[in-house]
Structure 1
């Protein structure tokens, strides 16, 4: 009965979330369904297990959601993201339209700009480029996805994406965990994705397929669609409803000033991880008033916090006079973080209730018994949970909350570097999360004015297949030579 309750609760969560119901309501209901079938006390399951785990997630990661959303909004309203996109367009031109879109998306997201901010800036740029180049509109979502939702989210060492931050407290790692393997995985994702898109473009040209209907609806209406909003806020750290709030600068800054905050994110993150934090005396963290905790548990999050804060101050310093309504922009940025953090925290609370049921022991044993060792079983667990929840961050946190300590013990027993666990877990969460119900997929299609029927196959190839190939390569190489 307990397993039936777990599957029934999960089915209810997926079914109604796909139809736009709020996860804030669905997650506790689904958790209570699982608790009922397992004979667990309902009120205690809600107030102690569900809320305790959700609160822990908020306590750990709200600063990253808050600063990430604020930084993205400041970069958008200052015109910096637009300046970078336009620079790519000018330098590469319509003859390299696909590569222009992919590269622009990769630069801004690796620099810390929120995914949905990138969507709404890149879509008009891609529209103009693809129309001029005669490339089918249906390839736009895949090109944007490749640049924004694959290697810069899960593989590139140092990426400030929330998915890359989640394993750090569990494994005591930094944002730069397994850098060599991360670069290798990034090259596989990017290379395969570009190959597929160029192949699709060539086939379309041979078939005489052009850009398509010029009047297809797209763009800003997606930010006001409540169903899209509900799905989107479990997928990434920015509420699309805040995109259109605030005011844009009258003109974009020069490319050097526009890109500088992105450079600050990467450089400060690197310095904090390998130079500053290791030299600090943090013995005070062992005191009860601070947890107690350790630098290995909080250092990775601290690095990203300082990097995003430094980047935000840089944007403000460079664009303070040009900002038409700075307070409105900052209000929209911080507000954009609230619904996503609580939506993902609710998914985490659901996972905690499920993990606390006696029946979950059978699920844990099944996962750990998967042939191929801990790396394979960890990849399978994060894949499945990300796919079911439609959220890489939610699925990853649920998996690590339930199984993280077990994998750390296994790693210690067999001499496996936790950095390898970190990179496998993050890449694994970013594969099957891009199923049709994923909020980022739904939003991207709406912004580009295309449908699942037109564009989803190409999204699967560049965002799912490329990530699975990279994951297999990381597991294979990591198993042979370890982390590097």
Structure 2
């Protein structure tokens, strides 16, 4: 019965998300409904002590990233830099390769350490302009961005600094370059299969005479100036974000040390505020890099941007608020579901799978799907079962590097179900609905999930790591 309650809550939330209802409203409804059916006395304590605590904690950490990412994307759009870059790429690779170009841009940013949420805000103006000029349906933009930002560069390529590739290092004592050849095999599989699928969808649309579309919402404003910026100047803010993120990531821990404290200069508030730098250095790095990118846009196109910044920034802030609240609600939902007895039933059932790598892959991707979070599902799975995974792998002669890569890639598989925060953010930013655009995201999800088992098969066939 406990398992059915958890499953019902998950199915309910996916259903309302797919139907277009606000997850901000229905995530707590789904979570607390499950608590009500499990133990009615825990509804209020779970809401304030767990759901709201996790939701507010997420906003505390990540809202500045959402806000600065939205502002960065907006000034790139208002400056005309997006149109300049798109025009240059179209001239370079041809109109029919617009999707490849967007995947490449997303991949470079994500592998450079830029948060996938920031990538969505930053790349959407480019994607909209490129798809419009190439007359490719706008509904294919979310699937294209998902392929570039949510898949192979997030957790498959060795060395990616995304959190999904960092979490396993603390459990398996590995580094972010674990199992490089298996990671490359998985990345190539996802990239080629994903591009093949998107190209097939584009040809279908072209054959039926479907173009970019009309009467759309959240469309980037057209750039009215005839003279476009030099493409090298236009792409400089994007390059700066990636480079400065690396610089700040390396420099912040050295500047502040492991912890940093200060005493507020307020009467009656003499207790020091202590912060663990390791937990927030990556967030500070992204925020600093985005500020540098925004400043660069103002340096090179200040007059153009300032003229429309007042109205443009309002739209960006509204988008950041919606996206962050959606994701925070999902985070609270996952925390509540993971605290219920039914979730433990799921975790224990998955542990019965005999093959160590298949066991790990199915467990991690299932829990990521239930919680709607790659990092959340993997964190829960490894916290509960890492010792068991290690023991079984060592008994079978499997290197811990392989465990790392399988866990990392599996976390980014079924996590992108309809209630996933990144999916909801992507659709909100692009102004599309689940009904219109989720089919292609789900197809990419299936390809990404299949890649984990391709990697496992490659290991058993060749022993390559």
Distance change (3 Å), C-alpha of 1:382 and 1:115: farther
Matched with 2:287 is 305
Is the contact made by 1:247 and 1:325 (CA closer than 8 Å) also made in structure 2?
no
Please point out which of 363, 380, 383 is paired with 1:405. Answer: 383
1:57 aligns with 2:58: yes
**Displacement of 1:123 after TM fit?**
4.1
Is the contact made by 2:169 and 2:176 (CA closer than 8 Å) also made in structure 1?
no
Q: Distance in 2 between matches of 1:328 and 1:446?
A: 18
Is the contact made by 1:105 and 1:144 (CA closer than 8 Å) also made in structure 2?
yes
Q: Distance in 2 between matches of 1:284 and 1:436?
A: 38
TM-score in terms of structure 1 length: 0.72
- 2:341 is paired with a residue whose SS is coil
Matched with 2:449 is 468
**Displacement of 1:294 after TM fit?**
5.4
Matches within 5 A, 1:54-133: 54-94=55-95, 96=97, 99-100=100-101, 102-103=103-104, 106=107, 112=114, 114-115=119-120, 118-119=123-124, 121-129=126-134
Matched with 2:12 is 12
Please point out which of 337, 353, 358 is paired with 1:354. Answer: 337
| Number of equivalent positions | 435
Matches within 5 A, 1:45-444: 45-94=46-95, 96=97, 99-100=100-101, 102-103=103-104, 106=107, 112=114, 114-115=119-120, 118-119=123-124, 121-129=126-134, 146-147=147-148, 149-155=150-156, 164-165=162-163, 168=166, 177-178=176-177, 180=180, 184-196=185-197, 211-213=207-209, 218=213, 221-223=216-218, 248=223, 250=225, 252-273=228-249, 275-277=250-252, 279-285=254-260, 289=272, 293=276, 295=278, 297-323=279-305, 324-373=307-356, 376-385=358-367, 387=369, 394-400=372-378, 402-406=380-384, 424=406, 427-433=409-415, 439=424
Matched with 1:235 is none
* Deviation sequence 1:128-185 (CA, Å, 0-9, x none): 4367xxxx9997776565445543455456778xxx3467578669xx9338465554
Q: Distance in 1 between matches of 2:47 and 2:352?
A: 30
Distance change (3 Å), C-alpha of 1:193 and 1:166: closer
Q: Distance in 2 between matches of 1:211 and 1:4?
A: 44
**Displacement of 1:89 after TM fit?**
0.5
Is the contact made by 2:120 and 2:426 (CA closer than 8 Å) also made in structure 1?
no
Is the contact made by 2:13 and 2:26 (CA closer than 8 Å) also made in structure 1?
yes
Q: Distance in 1 between matches of 2:405 and 2:297?
A: 30
Q: Distance in 2 between matches of 1:139 and 1:396?
A: 23
Distance change (3 Å), C-alpha of 1:382 and 1:395: farther
- 2:176 is paired with a residue whose SS is coil
- 1:178 is paired with a residue whose SS is coil
Once the two structures are overlaid, the 10-residue window that deviates more, 9-18 or 189-198, is 189-198
Once the two structures are overlaid, the 10-residue window that deviates more, 143-152 or 330-339, is 143-152
- 2:216 is paired with a residue whose SS is helix
Is the contact made by 2:110 and 2:119 (CA closer than 8 Å) also made in structure 1?
yes
Q: Distance in 1 between matches of 2:146 and 2:9?
A: 31
Q: Distance in 2 between matches of 1:6 and 1:351?
A: 11
Q: Distance in 2 between matches of 1:59 and 1:376?
A: 36
Q: Distance in 2 between matches of 1:41 and 1:196?
A: 46
**Displacement of 1:380 after TM fit?**
2.8
Q: Distance in 2 between matches of 1:219 and 1:426?
A: 39
Matched with 1:236 is none
* Deviation sequence 1:300-322 (CA, Å, 0-9, x none): 33333333332222223222222
Q: Distance in 2 between matches of 1:263 and 1:420?
A: 32
Is the contact made by 1:35 and 1:42 (CA closer than 8 Å) also made in structure 2?
yes
The two structures, once aligned, show a CA RMSD in angstroms of: 4.4
- 2:304 is paired with a residue whose SS is coil
Q: Distance in 2 between matches of 1:321 and 1:418?
A: 54
Is the contact made by 1:71 and 1:311 (CA closer than 8 Å) also made in structure 2?
yes
- 1:74 is paired with a residue whose SS is helix
* Deviation sequence 1:73-121 (CA, Å, 0-9, x none): 2222222222222111111224655544544554577675542664454
* Deviation sequence 1:273-295 (CA, Å, 0-9, x none): 4x424534514349995556352
